[in-house]
């Protein structure tokens, strides 16, 4: 494949960025969820 480096770099940025953001949201959510009672979580 021509330009394989550029193409893979693009997908690493896109997928890696998404995964990093998702991981951050989940981790932060769990950390906060432990400190709060269920009344403060209307989605449960």
Interaction between residue 18 and other proteins (CB under 8 A):
yes
Tell me which residue has tokens 């494949």. 1
Buried/exposed 17-33: b ≥16 CB within 10 Å, e otherwise: eeeeeeeeeeeeeeeee
Using CB under 8 A, which residues numbered 24 to 43 contact other proteins? 25-26, 28-41, 43
Interaction between residue 23 and other proteins (CB under 8 A):
no
Binding site for other proteins (CB under 8 A): 1-4, 6-7, 9-11, 13-15, 17-18, 21-22, 25-26, 28-41, 43-44
């Amino acid at each position: 494949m021509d330009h394989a480096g550029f193409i893979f770099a693009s997908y690493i940025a896109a997928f890696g960025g998404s995964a990093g953001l998702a991981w951050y949201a989940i981790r932060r959510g769990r950390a906060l969820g432990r400190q709060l009672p269920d009344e403060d979580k209307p989605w449960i």
